[in-house]
Amino acid sequence: MNTFIFVALPYLVLALLFLVTIYRYLTNRLTWSAYSTELLERRLLYWGSNPWHYGIIPLLLFHLVPFLFPGLAAGFLGNQQTLLVLESLGLGLALLALLGILILTLRRVNTAMLKRSTYFSDWLILFLLLVQVGSGVYIAVALRWGSLWYLHAAVPYFWSIWSANPQPEYLADLPAVVKVHAACAFLILGVLPFTKLVHLLYLPIDFLKDQPILYRWRGRE
């Protein structure tokens, strides 16, 4: 089981993520969209989408920083006070995201207008994200100082995956809920290129530097 979750799954996921995303980008950009349903329903979306995104984006960064800058993260987490601040901040954001994704799920279930613009893939990612955030909140509450062992167990494990020398031992002895959290994360990454989640792979920032009016001339770039 451990080998499957911590060795086979990550490589499968990475392969899917890179190959399918590139294939989809090259062959079918017409479906590359956030598939907003704000036009059809906006009251609940406001209370769902905002907390969700404002919760989950910083959380994702919190997961990414120790991976990229382990030294920096160790500095912050080594100090009792900053550790406490970071842990509470993380829990707060996770609760915000959980609230958001719950509202978004209920909104999909209850709004007749959305029936025909909701797809199997939408249900799938809603389910996976619910499990992911739910298990994350549980870990934050029940297994304290998660950020510390994330730094000392998960980060080296990720690096071992990245350097093609997988060492599942790092995570093998952790509680089941952590394994669920990890497996679910891999699943989300794996289905990402097949779903509307692709919208997060494209950051709309070109416009920050551009002139307001864009012209296109034939035969000129």
Partner 1 sequence: MDVRAQIVMAFHLDKCIGCHTCSLACKNIWSDRRGTEYMWWNNVETRPGVGYPRGWEDQERYRGGGVAEGKNVNLKSMGKGRTLASLFFQPNLPRIEDYYEPFDYDYGNLAGAPEGDDQPVARALSQVSGQPIEHIQGSANWDDDLGGSRLYAASDPNLPDAAIVESYATMFMQYLPRICNHCLHPSCVASCPSRALYKRGEDGVVLVDQNTCRGWRFCISACPYKKVYFNWKSGKAEKCIFCYPRVETGQVNACAQSCVGRIRFVGVLLYDADGVAEALLQKDADLVEATRALILDPKDREVQKAAAKNGVSEQWIEAAIGSPVYALVKEFRLALPLHPEFRTMPMTYYIPSLSPVLSTMGDTYRLMEKGTISLPETLRVPVDYLARLLAGGNRGIVEEVMRKLYAVRVFMRGENLGQPADPAILQQAGLDREGALRLYRLFTIAGFNERNVIPPQQREGQTPELRKQEAGFGILQRVKSERNDLTRRGGKDD
Which spans of this chain sit near partner 1 (rule: CB under 8 A)?
A: 28-40, 42, 45-46, 49-50, 52-54, 112-121, 124, 191, 194-196, 199, 202, 204-208, 210, 212-220
Question: Measured from the CB of residue 29, what is the shortest distance to partner 1 in angstroms?
Answer: 4
Q: Are 57 and 119 in contact (CB under 8 A)?
A: no
**Among residues 77 and 125, whose Cβ is nearest to partner 1?**
125
Question: Measured from the CB of residue 116, what is the shortest distance to partner 1 in angstroms?
Answer: 4
Residue 161 is encoded by which pair of tokens? Answer: 């995956």
Question: Measured from the CB of residue 21, what is the shortest distance to partner 1 in angstroms?
Answer: 12
**Among residues 164 and 218, whose Cβ is nearest to partner 1?**
218
Residue 62 is encoded by which pair of tokens? Answer: 């919190």
**Among residues 43 and 165, whose Cβ is nearest to partner 1?**
43
What is the DSSP code (8-state) at residue 144? -
**Among residues 101 and 178, whose Cβ is nearest to partner 1?**
101
